[in-house]
Amino acid sequence: MTILIGYVPTPVGDAALEAGLAEAAAHDEAVVVLNSTRRGQHVDTDQIDEDTAAKVLARADALGVRASLDQPEHGADLLEAFTAAVEQYDARMVVLGIRRRSPVGKLVMGSDAQRLLLELDVPILAVKPAR
């Protein structure tokens, strides 16, 4: 089986990566690091470059975890990218990093993480970065 890790180059993404790699190492499973970018964006700060991708894969290798990187584009709905990746890789689990937000911030802005938690049909490990 495979563990799908949602990754962006932030402390939130790093927390997800570390938790996902630890889970994969503990269960001798492969990981797919999903770094999905918004379709049509000319500049996307969430997209990782080749150097960062190499570092992410090296972190997995150091733990003895088989890892690959997938960078699909998504439209307005990030859920579609995750749903497709779960099916494509037969993921047993998704690991997400989540931000600390106020209840008002969640109400006004919504949350991709919340939609993923509610809509994906596989277990989800949600982690927060250390303060």
Domains and CATH numbers, the chain: 2-127 (3.40.50.620)
Q: What is the predicted pLDDT for the residue at 3?
A: 98
- The winner for highest mean pLDDT among 18-27, 41-50, 92-101 is 18-27
User: 66 with 31: CB under 8 angstroms?
Assistant: yes
Collapsed DSSP state (helix, strand, coil) of residue 6: strand
Q: DSSP states of 16-30 as a string?
A: HHHHHHHHHHHHT-E
104 pLDDT higher than 70 = no
Quote the strand ranges of 30-120, DSSP E: 30-34, 37-38, 67-70, 73-74, 91-97
Two structure tokens written together for 51:
């150097």
Q: Number of C-alpha atoms within 13 angstroms, CB side, residue 26?
A: 7
Q: Structure pTM?
A: 0.86
Tell me the average pLDDT across 120-125: 95
Nearest to 67 by CA among 55, 82, 51: 55
